[in-house]
Amino acid sequence: MAKKLKIDINEPKTKRVKFDPALNNGSICKKKLSDFPDEILLKILNYVDTLEQLRLQKVNKRFYTICQDQSLCQKVEIYNQNLPAEFIQKQLDGGCKYLNLRNCKIRNLQLKRPVQPPKLEELNLSCCDFDEMSFINLLFKVLLPCGSLKKLVLTNVTSSGKEVSRSNVFGCLFDRICLRNGSTLQVLSIKPWIDLGIGPIKSIVDYCLELKELEIPRTYFTIPMTSPWFSQEIDILVENLTPKIVKLKLGHISNEITDDHVEKLVKRCSNLKVLDLSGSTRLTNNSLRSIVTNLKLTLEELGVANTQIEVDDLFESKALPKLKRLY
């Protein structure tokens, strides 16, 4: 007869009793994964990353069948792999909502034209490398038809070795992507920025009214940095960006950002928790005063590296009581 576990009722409730397999004749230890019913295995596989699921498919026919369940296609995360085109097609056909392919290499992509718009809500292609036709195919067959994106990350994506943000095709379609997803898009990250002048900035402020996080670090514009057009782009951004924004990263975007720009920005977007203005060399302590005045109750992270702002006593003075990170 199995021994019973003895529990001291005087012990604190938070203290847990360690299970000893020997007390139960080791019966639990003899359980194999294959002994569980399909329903339980499916629940377990929801906590297994996509790459491991692909490996499990090769174990036997049963695991292969279970791994084909559409519920496992809802969230797909796979990194640092050479992905075959049919893998991406399969995820989209399965109704994938969360697709993260960070740092993957994608070649010879020929996706079918979708019968219905993709159900994607989050798409992360950070550091992905495409051949030119594969990226164009992705734009037309996936990004353009999408109408419910909540998060779009296209940082450091390359096509045939070139930044996709410098692609004329991408720049021309960016306006339509913002228009179709403007009512749902909450997180947008593009690095380096599209060098097509004023258009992309207007697309963001005109259509993306639900945006909460925006990252546009390190700009590369075709027009000179001192051009009045570039200054106008900054004006449009700080005067029209949605007040719902809580995280804004403009690190090294330009040396044309001034104290006046910062004042307008923080007055309009007074819910900011994260603000990165690093590399804006013209900013002085006047910007800091505007930040303290308008973001005192919200700001948790501030980036002012390579500016003229002096922050030596910022923590000691407790001018920003919620500030946790300063760089």
CB-based contacts of 94: which residues, under 8 Å, 6+ apart? 70, 72, 73, 74
User: Residues 151-199: pLDDT tens digits?
Assistant: 999 888 887 666 555 556 676 788 899 999 999 999 999 865 445 457 7
- pLDDT: which is higher, 95 or 293: 293
- The whole-number pLDDT of residue 50 equals 73
- The whole-number pLDDT of residue 221 equals 40
Q: Which residue from 151, 298, 166 is spatially nearest to 215, judged by alpha carbons?
A: 151
Instruction: Work out whether the CA dihedral 251, 257, 258, 260 comes out positive or negative.
Output: negative
Q: Which residue from 165, 205, 212 is spatially nearest to 184, judged by alpha carbons?
A: 212
- The whole-number pLDDT of residue 195 equals 53
The residues pairing with 302 across neighbouring beta strands, listed in sequence order, are 275, 326
- pLDDT: which is higher, 20 or 126: 126
- pLDDT: which is higher, 267 or 119: 267
Q: Which residue from 58, 109, 317, 307 is spatially nearest to 91, judged by alpha carbons?
A: 109
- DSSP-assigned letter for residue 79: -
Dihedral-angle region of residue 2 (phi above 0 means left; psi in -120 to 50 means alpha; beta otherwise): beta
User: Residues 275-284: pLDDT tens digits?
Assistant: 999 988 899 9
The most confident of the ranges 41-45, 71-75, 104-108 is 104-108
User: Residues 27-59: pLDDT tens digits?
Assistant: 555 677 777 887 787 788 777 777 777 777 777
Which amino acid, 270?
S
Q: Say yes or no to pLDDT of 315 above 80.
A: no
CB-based contacts of 251: which residues, under 8 Å, 6+ apart? 217, 218, 276, 277, 278, 279, 303
CATH of 74-326, one of 3.40.50.2000, 3.40.50.300, 3.80.10.10, 3.40.50.720: 3.80.10.10
Mean pLDDT score across all residues of the chain: 80
Q: Say yes or no to pLDDT of 26 above 60.
A: no
Q: What is the mean pLDDT of residues 205-223?
A: 76
Element (H, E) at 302: strand 301-303
Question: 181-202 burial by CB neighbour count: b if 16+ within 10 A, else e?
Answer: bbeebbbbbbbbbbebbeebbb
Q: What is d(CA 192, CA 164) in angstroms, rounded to the nearest whole number?
A: 9
Q: What is d(CA 294, CA 61) in angstroms, rounded to the nearest whole number?
A: 61
Cα separations (Å) of 156 from 2, 58, 124, 130, 225? 60, 34, 11, 12, 21
- The whole-number pLDDT of residue 2 equals 45
208 falls in which pLDDT band (50, 70, 90)? Answer: very high
The CATH 3.80.10.10 portion of the chain extends over: 74-326
User: Residues 111-155: pLDDT tens digits?
Assistant: 887 767 888 999 999 888 888 888 888 888 888 899 999 999 988
- pLDDT: which is higher, 61 or 28: 61
Q: Say yes or no to pLDDT of 266 above 80.
A: yes
